[in-house]
A and B are shown apart, each in its own frame.
Chain A
Amino acid sequence: MPGPFIQIDQLHRTYREGDQSQPVLRGASLTIQVGEMVALLGRSGSGKSTLLNVISGIDRVDSGTVMVDGVDLTKLSERDNTLFRRRHIGFIYQFFNLVPTLTAAENIALVLELNRCSRAEIEEKTDHLLRAIDLAAQGDRFPDQLAGGEQQRVAIARALVHSPKLVLADEVTGNLDAETGQRVLALLKDLTVRNRTTLVLVTHSLAVAQSADRIVTLEDGLLAERQGHFAW
């Protein structure tokens, strides 16, 4: 039987600003299997985004381990962490974070180019995903020429185009109206399920969380598997 895809153990992370320190993670532990969709719920400022950054190797921890696909990200150098992220992780943000000086198609193609795919492969995969997100006609538009929902769909396509093993989504529907949010979420689910991609979804919306295989909460710096009603 294969081991867990993500194994987080005793994570500690404290932010320090001058004399003040703010502990965000105080021994958080979590295990996620391949192809699982896990929703991470928590109040604003509870450390959800920090946890996501730690899983992607973007942020450092004070102590603990983060194993992704058998690799301990806390032991990797900055450069190796970046290369791991480039190859195996897709990231989706609440505020889309598309490169303003690249068109929609170019934004999607960027990660493939970074992974040194051939031009033909880049074109094929980009076109395919543009069609999949229903934006084939808008591929040459710049982000500021797209609506919010369209931008988020491009961001999803960018996160998935290189077929990563793990997709991290931070409040992907938080900046969208309810209907658009639902459509974006459905698209994300559809694309990840199809490729057995592991998805970690940060949200504070119970409705969004309930579409996941599991729901994990982050409270007082600790992770807990939860079911039932939530106060927030």
Chain B
Amino acid sequence: MLAHPFEASLLGRSAWRFTRQHRWQSSLTFIGVMLGVCMVVAVDLANSSARRAFELSLATVTGPITHQIIGGPGGISASVYTGLRTELGLRASAPLVTGQVSIAGQPFTLMGTDPFSESTLERFSLGLTGNGLSQALLSDDAVMLAARAAYKLNLRVDQQFDIRAAGRNLPVTLAGIFPSDNPAATESLLFADIAVAERLLNRLGRLDRIDLILDSNDRIKLQEWLPADLQLVESEARNESLQQMTDAFHINLTAMSLLALLVAALLIYNTVTLSVLQRRKTLGIYRSLGVTGREIFALILSESMLLSLLASIAGVLLGLLLGQFLVQLVTRTVNDLFFTLHVTAFLIDPFSLVKGLSLGLGFTMLAATPAAFEATRSPPVSVQQRSALEQRWRGRVPMLLVAGVVMLLLGALLVRSEQGSLLEGFIALTLMVLGFCLMVPALVMLLTRALLILFAPFLTGTARMSVRGISAGISRTGMAVAALTVAVSVTIGVGVMISSFRHTVVTWLEQSINGDVYVSRVERFDGGLTPDLVDHLQRLPGVALTTTNRIVNVETEYGPMRVLAMTRSQGDKRMPIKEGVADAAELFERGRGVFVSEPLAYHQQLESGGEISVYTDKGAHRFAILGVFYDYTSSRGVIRLHRDLYRQWWDDDSITGLTLYRSTATGQEDLLGRVRDTLQSQGSQWRAASNREIRQVILDIFDRTFLITHVLRMLAVLVAFVGVLSALMALQLERLREFAILRATGMTPWQIACMVLGQTGLMGMFAGLLALPLGLLMAEILIEVINRRAFGWSMQHLVPAGVLTEALFVSLAAALLAGAYPAFKASSSLPAQALREE
């Protein structure tokens, strides 16, 4: 049985003992890699769970269908379905009415279908097939649930229960339970006959869509027959465009986790390089004894491989745990920002685990290779000179500086293009981070020199030794400070990005949510305010001004998009404009065109003066683009047009929301009270909220969206902390012999402790200070390049002092903590013993 992994090889045995002797260093590196891999795996699992749930839902609901007929805001008249079956003979078709409902507070998608038509589509994956479905849904309050959902809700067949739909509680009967091939996909689906669904959702006679299986002849025939207000879309293309909505969000999260892994990789680079330097003499002995460079290379690399393999496995396991938590955050954000998605199952994608493991190993190998290569160049012990090594390093510093500047410039070149890809953005970010890293040794030497000159009169002998020690051992201190700088800068970059974004949204909310009271229906996209109610509210005492809006989802040349039809009145500045044609506001009022949101303009490269094609009730129409407005409600895009223009193209008089402006003599709370009293008398499907409440709801969504980023940032802070701790502690522990000599020559334990703590503290401060410009640069790229390319949002810059002080605190606290143990050890052990141990 092997006593340790390298039983067979003496070189390996020696390496193993070295690792054991430096267990602090090894453990902290282990933790760094583990956390990095954990983040990648957790984010990947959360993303893939959300994606998989989405795909399963789509695949289950879509099944074998090839096309869908979709209508405008008013839906599709039931006569269309009758027509295509009787006139065109398209039997492989089924009508569908869908809406969001809840059972015992849990969200469900109600799907109203025609059991007889459904049998022609053979959507077996739903478990709803043939006679079973027809029989079960015959009664007028019958619904069906998947077996797992019924079990969770503790419902039995024939049991009555309430569902909440369209703002009302309605009784239904569980007529049947269906088994499903994909429990995760069907768990949040509720089926009913189409007539029952229409009644429950209060949408009599209107279908949401018609699903079909068509061949090319049928498709041509149907397209000719279809009324202009309806649209035939390929189901696959539509699904894809829905999925693309969340791509940027997922990519961004992945990038965040990779950034943490990059930090971990730098820590590995630092640790491996340090361990090579620490063993320089031993490697020199090997070389003298006849160990080839290739053998030393393999030795160093296999050590790193073993450490990273163990750390990666631990990271994957930890990632599985963290992933279960993150999937809830990801799903909530997808629900908030994109579409309703219920992920009740945490799906473990083996590919994610393999990816995490491979990335952990790959990054480690990449990080360890330069150090392993350096190790092969260790001269045999008889020609080694420590001073020569430092001189060689000092000679390299200007070269590294130049290389760093070149990499920074390359990165800057990559981000210059306005429409570059997200990947280019990430490459640029990596180039800039690594470029800055290479500049750090030169900057550290500059800082130490400045310190020695500026504070010369105040520096004691011990303090001078601390400062000089940093530049004298630049081969070790330079790269340690570089790794720490990057680790700390990530926390600054991400912190500034989130703060800037939040600040931007708050400012935007102040500008755009400036009415006093907002009235809307409880259910989104579900009918509108009645004209009587609107009239009643407009006449309430204290109301100075009202504006209305109608929000609908329509098809455009770029896929489904939210359209907001609004009346613009004097005093209403709800639309902060980014850019526009001359007299854009006036042209908007006159219904001469539309405004598009910034993300839509960015992603589709639209600008004022251009056009956008939208499918209206009168067929496709190209609207002139009058301008681009700031909007943070959707990363996909919003189109705004005047209500008059909307009514010109859509047969829809509904009003989704009403904004009331109070007169100067009326208090906001008074008006809100009056509006709420009025709404209560009209039924419970209406709600009123003050601008403050609306802003708070939006900010809550924002905070929920960025909660996952906060979690990732906190993990990055932890990795940074571990990094500072490991690098500086290793540096100081290596100098125990030097401290013993100083003790032997008369320095007191207290002086030694002060020197150690002074030096680690100083290095931590250097790392913290250098992290400030790098962190701000990182924030700039995250804001102006990464987020812009991912979401299309522009942001104002805000540098909160808290983020900067936190970064300084992290590096300084970790540095002092890192110095504490070596300081204690150096000052408490006998000099003779330390000298002998060496």
Which A residues are within 8 Å of any B CB, using their own CB?
Answer: 17, 49, 52-53, 56, 58-59, 78-79, 82-83, 85-87, 89, 91, 93, 97-102, 106, 109-111, 113-114, 144, 158, 170
Contact = CB atoms under 8 A, between A and B. Distances in A.
Given A58-B383, A91-B382, A99 B14 contact: yes
5 closest residue pairs by CB, A with B: A86-B290, A101-B17, A101-B14, A58-B380, A85-B290
Given A82-B293, A109-B10, A99 B287 contact: no
Contacts of B13: 101-102, 106
Q: Which of A86, A113, A114 has the most CB of B within 10 A?
A: A114
Contacts of B287: 58, 82
Contact of A110 (B10, B15, B294): B10
Contacts of B545: none
22 contacts: A52-B382, A58-B379, A79-B293, A82-B287, A82-B290, A82-B293, A83-B292, A85-B288, A91-B288, A97-B285, A99-B285, A99-B286, A101-B282, A102-B13, A102-B14, A106-B14, A109-B10, A110-B10, A110-B11, A111-B289, A114-B290, A114-B291
Contacts of B294: 79
A89 B290 CA distance: 9
B382 A49 contact: yes
Contacts of B284: 97
A114 B18 CA distance: 19
Contacts of A114: 289-291
B380 A53 contact: yes
Interface string B4-22: 0000011101110110010
Interface of B: 9-11, 13-15, 17-18, 21, 281-282, 284-294, 379-383, 391, 836-838
B381 A93 contact: yes
Contact of A170 (B379, B382, B391): B382
A59 B383 contact: yes
Nearest to A164: B290
A40 B836 CA distance: 31
Contact of B10 (A49, A100, A106): A106
Contacts of B288: 56, 58, 85, 91, 97
A58 B285 CA distance: 11
Given A79-B294, A85-B290, 4 more contacts: A97-B288, A99-B14, A100-B282, A144-B838
Nearest to B281: A97
B836 A144 contact: yes
B398 to A, nearest CB: 14
Nearest to B391: A17
Contacts of B381: 93, 97
A52 B380 CA distance: 12
Contacts of A89: 290
Nearest to B294: A79
Contact of A79 (B286, B292, B383, B837): B292
Contacts of A17: 391
A58 B290 CA distance: 10
A85 B282 CA distance: 17
A151 to B, nearest CB: 12
Nearest to B380: A58
Nearest to A82: B292
Contact of A83 (B14, B286, B290): B290
A170 B294 CA distance: 27
Describe B's contact surface by its main secondary structure: helix
A56 B292 CA distance: 14
B324 to A, nearest CB: 42
Contacts of A87: 290
Nearest to A112: B10
A53 B382 contact: yes
B21 A101 contact: yes
B21 A113 contact: no
A91 to B, nearest CB: 5
A14 B15 CA distance: 36
Nearest to A17: B391
A83 B9 CA distance: 18
B289 A86 contact: yes
A141 to B, nearest CB: 14
B721 to A, nearest CB: 30
A99 B293 contact: no
Nearest to B836: A144
B9 A113 contact: yes
A79 B288 CA distance: 12
Contacts of B21: 101
A106 B836 CA distance: 21
A49 B383 CA distance: 9
B836 to A, nearest CB: 6
Nearest to A58: B380
Nearest to A158: B289
A114 B291 CA distance: 7
Contacts of A59: 383
Given A93-B381, A106-B10, A101 B18 contact: yes
A139 B13 CA distance: 16
A89 B21 CA distance: 31
Nearest to A119: B8
Given A82-B293, A110-B10, A93 B382 contact: yes
A58 B15 CA distance: 23
Contacts of B11: 110, 113
Contacts of A93: 381-382
Contacts of B14: 99, 101-102, 106
B291 A82 contact: yes
A99 B282 contact: yes
A98 B381 CA distance: 11
Nearest to B18: A101
Contacts of B285: 97-99
A216 B282 CA distance: 31
Contacts of A101: 13-15, 17-18, 21, 282
A78 B293 contact: yes
A199 to B, nearest CB: 17
Contacts of A106: 10, 13-14
B293 A111 contact: no
A109 B18 CA distance: 18
Nearest to B21: A101
B578 to A, nearest CB: 59
Contacts of B10: 102, 106, 109-110, 113
Q: Which of A17, A102, A111 has the most CB of B within 10 A?
A: A102
Nearest to A168: B382
A206 B286 CA distance: 31
Contact of B837 (A86, A98, A144, A158): A144
A17 B394 CA distance: 13
B345 to A, nearest CB: 50
Given A53-B383, A109-B10, A91 B282 contact: no
Nearest to B382: A53
Nearest to A49: B382
A46 to B, nearest CB: 16
Q: Which of A58, A78, A144 has the most CB of B within 10 A?
A: A58
A91 B289 contact: yes
A110 B383 contact: no
Nearest to A122: B10
Contacts of A102: 10, 13-14, 17
Contacts of B391: 17
Nearest to A87: B290
B289 A110 contact: yes
Nearest to A50: B383
B77 to A, nearest CB: 84
A6 B284 CA distance: 25
